[in-house]
Structure 1
């Protein structure tokens, strides 16, 4: 072992047996060797005599780098030597004592890269016979065949495939290489593929799989007639249908069929190809056999076939050709739907995008045929199946632990394209869509509560998503089956309403369609109920309860005057919710986003702040809310100077909640009402402001609390107008005193509530 070999072994040490300094020296030594003019000859010598895998890899890596970056500096003699040695290695010629091809896969892959680096610069002008010379060596058996496939794969990866960014020079070289191969050797390579698969299909399925996967890469740019013929095509179908000994080999054959189907060509030629393929032969592989290993490849083939048939329909002007294209689509779609509903496949996103294109195409076909209506119904079934959560995550999603959060985020993203598809179907066939949702909802309702959580949530999500594509007029009038569907929604009390997801999507859906109530005032009581009972604001799950408060506020904003007769009933349902917002326990709960629970006070303010409410009742309602809150603040301020830091911190947190509640409550009252038409209401807010300004005296220099009071002052300026001016000097005096560094009266410089 010489110094270079020792240096390479030290540099590639993976066991921690070499200290970093020595490894650094070895790396520097090997790098210096790379810069020597004789490095190519040295690498060739080592490849021919060293059995050390690390040395072989370093030599191949170095050769690859030198050829790619310094090819023009290599002498003609060295180029000839490199070319001859590399070719003899890949072809397993006996003159080499070291069998590199017996090494691990990464050595053979690196060898293939070196081979392709030579082809990049030398084929076909210098090394014109490289492929023709390689083919006779395939008779040596699986080792050389495997290496040949690695070379073809490397050629695709390194030069031809457009899946990777290419420079203009690389594109030019790729075109030159492909043109030369088409003219010189492609037909011979295809014949070799056929012979190898025929010979080894029963004895070496892994090798045949490698050959087919390599062949698949080339179908896109070679003459399709070399593969799509009475010789090769029956072989592929025989492997798929009769049953190859391994699913991997069958899958590789299916992927080759997909490459054939996807090959770019004129639409009329493509249509003829699709017809001749007789794809119906593979349908039973998913509808009958249902081989889980094979289904992903079959699904990709079916969807790829459908995409091409639809593309033919769009691009061909002949009515007869359009009819044939649609017939091909009608044949393949049921199998596509079956796969989507019964198997998890990687091609789901591509299939959904295809279905969106298919449905969009149906817009131009009026009236829709029974077959098309049937397909639209099946698409809706697919959507419903795919948007359902897996019951295994039910508990995680209900308590929203880490797993539940991740699953909900994943599903939210996954559903986006499916809901786009749903809305497209809804525009093309609104009655079909609404009838499907009604039936799915009815089916979900009829099942036991412990088994239909995901089904109910899925059906409600469909209805919610559909609403995004409906006009306000359609919702308001309940056009089509919407009237029946919405009445069904409002009148149903789902057994699984305690589930967080079901409760949330139900409330969101009711809110989305609340405009329907504007012309159906008789439904107001059944609309209010889910918000006010244990399905909404009183739901045991805090996130549902807070979301319900926010959504209820939105409902109140929309219905406002229509809710006046129900104000008393609404307020009677909320005393515990109002009280809970200003308790110690509530302030310690984790609050997410802007849904802090204060929206219930905004909703109440919107209700009782309308001029349609009789003055006496309005005063009573407001007084019943403001008086207890102000009294609670005054009680919290008493003896505050004597409290400990922790006690003060807790009281301040409660006061903040109260200020937020009053601030939200005031949003429902207009300046005209509180200053002109009903000044008594304005006086109540002035008294409240007086109480809250005292907070700054007792708890100075508490920034979060100061921010809350400042926000309320701004609110009062908007609400009370000029009548609030007498209060501003006192407020500004206290705020400025705090800004200038007033002394904190509870014995601490500042209080950090974060």
Structure 2
């Protein structure tokens, strides 16, 4: 019975449709699912729009009416232009009549707000299609109707607000840019009537809801209306009278913010000063400058909180745009100070978003003051002593900046180096998830503090030292206060001169170490320890200059490495590695008063230092010491250090390898696999920091590693044979694969930092290929190591053309085996997909001639895989493949013309067709940038005559004037016409002309393509012709400009082209 709503050959039973809708919204189970299916089919039906009027007139269910409006809105945005003009007018009259009826009665307007808002949106969608060309009287009509009924007027304001939003805020992906431009120009041209209506309402109407609706509509207008309406009328005076009335003050302040943020209006500076004065007068009455805004905010209503938020936005936007004119107006100095005091107080509010608004302004203010100070310093060095010193803005803000220093310290957030946090239960724990928002906020606060320190070092030092003393005497002691202060101290590293920094930091570190001894309880000690480590880690310049202090700090870190409180050891290791990177040289030279370099002591005591660390922390420790070793330039000494340094891992390695050689079955023991994995990861850590010098250690373990790689594979294959594919999920096989991946990662790490490339080619490649490539090509898909592809890509990147002789073997072993794995679907083996395209990109970049040596079938497979890649639904795979395709074509273009001709003959048109496929497919929308760049390149090859052969078969054309440009135009026209029959030929022609014209100007090219993609959503009608003429004129104008520029330069244009130009001029 219910299915009859889908029969469009008979009258729709509105009551039945209402019943289906109610079942969907209020039912459950299978009945609800059936209702949903029916409604979806009904809405998707091509003729559903024809039912909208009857539903809207006769349905008694609001949800049914809403569905009808949704259907109508979708139809208007996509198929409106397929209707004859009479039908369009009938729909328009029907919607206008419904809007008027629904919004003329106050009770209906408020009770059916959701329905009327949707009705308004449908009307606006019609306006976007028909106005101004087919509905030129719309603005006079809506203004006239507004004067007949206040309730209707209120809704008309909502319609105008929606229209403004659709044209100015949300037009980018909905309308082509010329259509958007025309609509914007039209509403500006006719704005006078709208403006006078708004002014009349604000001046004489007393109905609160209408006033508020008008203010909200004006708010949307203020960003684009001609500035004369703002500054040459009484609009500002009208607005400010509502600032003191609570129900209007928020929207009024937003309006004034829009006006206050306008730039490039220097001729209205007096008006701006007047605006600032009036607003600050009202604000100071409502909120005295000495008020505790943070407490007020916490205990306020939503409306009052919004007012304070809007106040922050007004003050920051106005001052950002016009602070200098306020500074120069002496009578405004007190108000300027008052405004900044308000911002200081607002910055103290415990609301991160409000603080970010203030922080953005503070950053710009202190940056401008710093730049001015730096310029004045240069100026003072260049002027004669008798000349008048220029005025400094910094002097105005001395007290404000001092208060700001305190606020920035109190609002400081955790840097990413700090690993210890207080959880919701008030416990000190290790942080595992980093908050990107907090990291960004830290960097922004740090920037402000650095500028503030440069502007007045003494004040910054005094404030921080006093706050530290209050931590010491306990008057302000808390974990949070100490953290924020120390994070702030660490953030200004480098902002003081060397002597000031030394004095300041000695005080800070001594006090913190004393505090560490003074405090009782593991949690307290952990907090102080984390702050000690953070602060010392931020001042490498100080540590480099004070060896004894550096030594004390390192010993303290080793002490913290034995502290088992959660997070302390992690942070100690991280601080140790940071200091090792920054001060590496100081550990490998013999310092004054020492009997040997400090690294000798570290290596000698490594076992004791690391005995309580986890395997991951031990790896960090080894990486840190590796940075010290890398600073040793004497290769003989460096090799000896490496031998001592790696003695413990090597002893463990030799024992493990001996056990494996005695019985490979030992690799079935999970504990043995963990030992091997840890040893390999320690080697990876050491290699990453030592660099090429690690080659001596690699030589010790390389052959054993490759043998272990092969042995592990044999055991995995055995376990697969015994247990089936489920074996790959067992701990044993996962452990074996981890060992293999670690071996690959160690080799990859070394290749990345190696400098002796010949040595790699001569000593590493052959044994590596023999084991690893053989394994990859022959092993079952389920255990092929994806990381092999990444190592190969890295080898090609590093060795460049030295890899050329090996490329055939690399492709033979990896290409087809991997392609067979990843082309079955778009989801299996994601790591192999990425590795495959990384390898292909590397070969194309560095060993391209090797690709040209492939057989035609194998080369075609390469091209097919690239095309398959940019059709992938994962964005990074698609983008990677588009990049490879573009680079491949550029490589082809640079080769011998015979090779290039053969390539273009075989692949140009098919690649072009595939690019158009992904470009016009909604699932590949994210790849727009790469797709358009690729398309521009393909068109550029033709327009610049880079393709010398004919893309067409000369024997198949009778056109004597046929060339590649004309053929491409015809080919693409046919392609698009067949794919999108709803487009008019003129639209396609103009689009192709634009691609031919603008392929060397990417921003314009992308704009044209974006316009075309928007047109694809709409079925073409007579409106499209309005914009075709303008597009054609734009293209012709560009050609004429280029021709005129070329004519100015003798010899730029061929004589034959000159004669053709003269003929054109005669014809015109």
Normalising by the smaller structure, the TM-score range is 0.7 to 0.9
Counterparts of 2:207 and 2:60 in 1: how far apart (Å)?
32
Counterparts of 2:768 and 2:73 in 1: how far apart (Å)?
76
How many residue pairs were aligned? 679
C-alpha change, 1:670 and 1:571, in structure 2 (3 Å) is same
What's the counterpart of residue 105 of structure 1?
113
C-alpha change, 1:369 and 1:8, in structure 2 (3 Å) is same
Alignment pair present for 1:598 and 2:622: yes
CA contact (8 A) 1:538 1:545 kept: no
C-alpha change, 1:622 and 1:164, in structure 2 (3 Å) is closer
CA contact (8 A) 1:549 1:599 kept: no
C-alpha change, 1:216 and 1:127, in structure 2 (3 Å) is closer
Alignment pair present for 1:461 and 2:487: yes
CA contact (8 A) 1:539 1:545 kept: no
Counterparts of 1:161 and 1:627 in 2: how far apart (Å)?
66
CA contact (8 A) 1:9 1:55 kept: no
C-alpha change, 1:547 and 1:499, in structure 2 (3 Å) is farther
Deviations 1:359-397 (CA, angstroms, capped at 9, x unpaired): 122232555654422222223233223323695558687
Q: 349, 352, 356: which one pairs with 1:349?
A: 356
CA contact (8 A) 2:413 2:487 kept: no
Counterparts of 1:71 and 1:751 in 2: how far apart (Å)?
56
C-alpha change, 1:666 and 1:415, in structure 2 (3 Å) is closer
Alignment pair present for 1:520 and 2:539: no
Counterparts of 1:3 and 1:381 in 2: how far apart (Å)?
71
Deviations 1:426-447 (CA, angstroms, capped at 9, x unpaired): 3444444444444444444443
Counterparts of 2:181 and 2:706 in 1: how far apart (Å)?
73
Counterparts of 1:737 and 1:175 in 2: how far apart (Å)?
70
Counterparts of 2:170 and 2:643 in 1: how far apart (Å)?
73
What's the counterpart of residue 744 of structure 1?
none
Counterparts of 1:347 and 1:670 in 2: how far apart (Å)?
47
Counterparts of 2:88 and 2:643 in 1: how far apart (Å)?
99
Question: Unmatched 5+ residue regions in structure 2?
Answer: 6-10, 377-391, 415-420, 713-736, 776-782, 787-1068
SS at match of 1:598: helix
Counterparts of 2:216 and 2:471 in 1: how far apart (Å)?
45
C-alpha change, 1:660 and 1:250, in structure 2 (3 Å) is closer
Counterparts of 1:277 and 1:131 in 2: how far apart (Å)?
34
CA contact (8 A) 1:530 1:536 kept: no
SS at match of 1:543: helix
Q: Alpha-carbon deviation of 1:603?
A: 6.6
Q: Alpha-carbon deviation of 1:513?
A: 1.9
What's the counterpart of residue 86 of structure 1?
96
C-alpha change, 1:622 and 1:45, in structure 2 (3 Å) is closer
Deviations 1:408-441 (CA, angstroms, capped at 9, x unpaired): 4331122222222233333444444444444444
SS at match of 2:411: helix
Q: 651, 654, 666: which one pairs with 2:672?
A: 651
Alignment pair present for 1:490 and 2:504: no
What's the counterpart of residue 1049 of structure 2?
none
What's the counterpart of residue 442 of structure 2?
415
CA contact (8 A) 1:652 1:705 kept: yes
CA contact (8 A) 1:46 1:59 kept: yes
Higher mean C-alpha displacement, 250-259 vs 485-494: 250-259
CA contact (8 A) 2:215 2:255 kept: yes
- Aligned pairs for 1:120-159 (under 5 A) are 120=128, 121-122=130-131, 125-127=136-138, 129-139=140-150, 144=152, 147-159=155-167
C-alpha change, 1:710 and 1:378, in structure 2 (3 Å) is closer
- Aligned pairs for 1:71-470 (under 5 A) are 73-76=83-86, 79=89, 82-83=92-93, 86-87=96-97, 89-92=99-102, 101=109, 104-120=112-128, 121-122=130-131, 125-127=136-138, 129-139=140-150, 144=152, 147-161=155-169, 167-182=177-192, 184-193=193-202, 195-196=204-205, 198-200=206-208, 209-220=212-223, 221=225, 223-224=229-230, 228=235, 230=237, 232-234=239-241, 236-240=242-246, 249-263=248-262, 266-267=265-266, 268-283=269-284, 284-285=286-287, 287=291, 290-291=296-297, 292=300, 293=302, 294-314=304-324, 321=328, 328-344=335-351, 346-362=353-369, 363-364=371-372, 367=392, 369-388=394-413, 393=424, 398-400=429-431, 405=433, 408-447=435-474, 452-467=478-493, 470=495
SS at match of 1:398: strand
Q: Alpha-carbon deviation of 1:172?
A: 1.9
CA contact (8 A) 1:302 1:336 kept: yes
Counterparts of 1:490 and 1:181 in 2: how far apart (Å)?
66
Alignment pair present for 1:575 and 2:607: yes
Question: Unmatched 5+ residue regions in structure 1?
Answer: 201-205, 675-681, 742-748
- Aligned pairs for 1:707-722 (under 5 A) are none
What's the counterpart of residue 203 of structure 1?
none
Q: Alpha-carbon deviation of 1:239?
A: 1.0
Deviations 1:60-101 (CA, angstroms, capped at 9, x unpaired): 34444555553684545872674366246435589x9x9974
Counterparts of 2:540 and 2:644 in 1: how far apart (Å)?
29
Deviations 1:696-717 (CA, angstroms, capped at 9, x unpaired): 87996247667659969999xx
SS at match of 1:129: helix
CA contact (8 A) 1:490 1:526 kept: no
SS at match of 2:675: helix
Q: Alpha-carbon deviation of 1:337?
A: 0.9
CA contact (8 A) 2:623 2:688 kept: no
CA contact (8 A) 1:511 1:555 kept: no
Counterparts of 2:645 and 2:691 in 1: how far apart (Å)?
18
C-alpha change, 1:67 and 1:605, in structure 2 (3 Å) is closer
C-alpha change, 1:270 and 1:482, in structure 2 (3 Å) is farther
CA contact (8 A) 1:377 1:432 kept: yes
C-alpha change, 1:610 and 1:530, in structure 2 (3 Å) is farther
Counterparts of 1:275 and 1:138 in 2: how far apart (Å)?
36
Counterparts of 2:107 and 2:453 in 1: how far apart (Å)?
65
Q: Alpha-carbon deviation of 1:281?
A: 3.0
C-alpha change, 1:161 and 1:130, in structure 2 (3 Å) is farther
The higher relative CO (CA closer than 8 Å, separation ≥ 6) is in: 2
Counterparts of 2:488 and 2:437 in 1: how far apart (Å)?
17
Q: Alpha-carbon deviation of 1:279?
A: 0.9
Q: Alpha-carbon deviation of 1:334?
A: 0.8
What's the counterpart of residue 550 of structure 1?
577
Deviations 1:601-649 (CA, angstroms, capped at 9, x unpaired): 5378579998999x9xx99x99987766655556556766469657744
CA contact (8 A) 1:146 1:207 kept: yes
CA contact (8 A) 1:444 1:456 kept: yes
C-alpha change, 1:125 and 1:332, in structure 2 (3 Å) is same
SS at match of 2:489: helix
Q: 533, 539, 546: which one pairs with 1:507?
A: 533
